């Protein structure tokens, strides 16, 4: 795998959280309640642990799994490879990935999902065989620009394969303007004690 060169180019791949934004069906639609106290303002937030760009902790699907504050930062910070699979429709198979994930501890899948209208359940996502490929390769963090790492209405098999082996999952990234290649990734969830996930700010550097 190509080695990352030192640079100061930062790319924010976090989707903006705004009231009424499109969410995965059944999830909480974000809302803001701004309070004006004259000299200052405070805003109450109505959010889910899976609002916008977010990180799934093992506890999301594994009953005894680690919660979000226990996800190792070394899984979320370091070199990553962005793999463009935008030419795939439906399930991402191992042959779609090829050897592009070899040696990568962190992988982000650029599926071409666009958040420009109502929720689209026909997004592209890895199937169980691809999930097993990533765990076999030793990937510690797997991200996607789609609403979920698993197909809409899936059985949870992909989540359980990844989270059960300690792979952190990042969902709903904004990779529209990010070409395939190697980056430095910094993905920081809120330190929410005992919870199954958290919204996160995710930055790539080249």
If one counts the domains in the chain, the total is: 1
The alpha carbon of 14 is separated from its chain's Cα centroid by a whole number of angstroms, namely: 9
Q: Is 54 an annotated catalytic residue?
A: no
Q: Which CATH number is 87's domain given?
A: 3.50.30.50
The range of the structural domain enclosing residue 94 comes to: 10-14+48-205
Which among 82, 53, 58, 52 is positioned nearest to 72, based on CA atoms?
58
The fraction of the chain above a pLDDT of 70, given in percent, is 96
Q: What is the pLDDT of residues 125-153, one digit of tens each?
A: 999 999 999 999 999 999 999 999 999 99
CB proximity list for 87: less than 8 A, separation 6 or greater = none
- Give a yes or no: residue 28 inside a domain: no
β-pair type (197-205, 31-36):
unpaired
- Give a yes or no: residue 172 inside a domain: yes
Q: What is the pTM of this model?
A: 0.94
Question: According to the model, what pLDDT value does residue 116 have?
Answer: 84
Q: What is the pLDDT of residues 21-79, one digit of tens each?
A: 989 999 999 999 999 999 999 999 999 999 999 999 999 999 999 999 999 999 999 99
Catalytic option among 50, 60, 122, 159: 60
The Cα–Cα gap between 27 and 152 comes to: 13
Which among 129, 160, 162, 157 is positioned nearest to 144, based on CA atoms?
162
Q: What is the pLDDT of residues 163-197, one digit of tens each?
A: 999 999 999 999 999 999 999 999 999 999 999 99
- Give a yes or no: residue 195 inside a domain: yes
Q: Is the pLDDT of residue 7 over 60?
A: no
């Amino acid at each position: 795998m190509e080695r990352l060169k030192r640079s100061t180019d930062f790319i924010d791949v976090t989707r903006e959280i705004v009231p009424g934004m499109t969410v995965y069906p059944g999830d909480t639609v974000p809302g803001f309640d701004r309070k004006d106290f004259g000299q200052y303002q405070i805003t109450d937030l109505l959010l889910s642990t899976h609002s916008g760009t977010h990180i799934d902790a093992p506890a999301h699907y594994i009953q005894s799994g680690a919660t979000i504050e226990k996800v190792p930062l070394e899984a979320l910070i370091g070199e990553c490879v962005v793999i463009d699979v935008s030419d795939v429709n439906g399930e991402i198979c191992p042959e779609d990935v090829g050897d592009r994930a070899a040696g990568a501890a962190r992988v982000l899948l650029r599926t071409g999902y666009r958040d420009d209208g109502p929720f689209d359940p026909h997004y592209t996502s890895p199937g169980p065989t691809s999930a097993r490929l990533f765990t076999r390769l030793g990937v510690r963090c797997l991200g996607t620009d789609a609403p979920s790492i698993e197909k809409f209405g899936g059985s949870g098999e992909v989540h359980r394969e990844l989270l059960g082996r300690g792979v952190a999952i990042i969902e709903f990234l904004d990779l529209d303007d990010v070409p395939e290649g190697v980056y430095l990734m910094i993905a920081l969830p809120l330190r929410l004690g005992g919870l199954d996930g958290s919204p996160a700010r995710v930055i790539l550097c080249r």
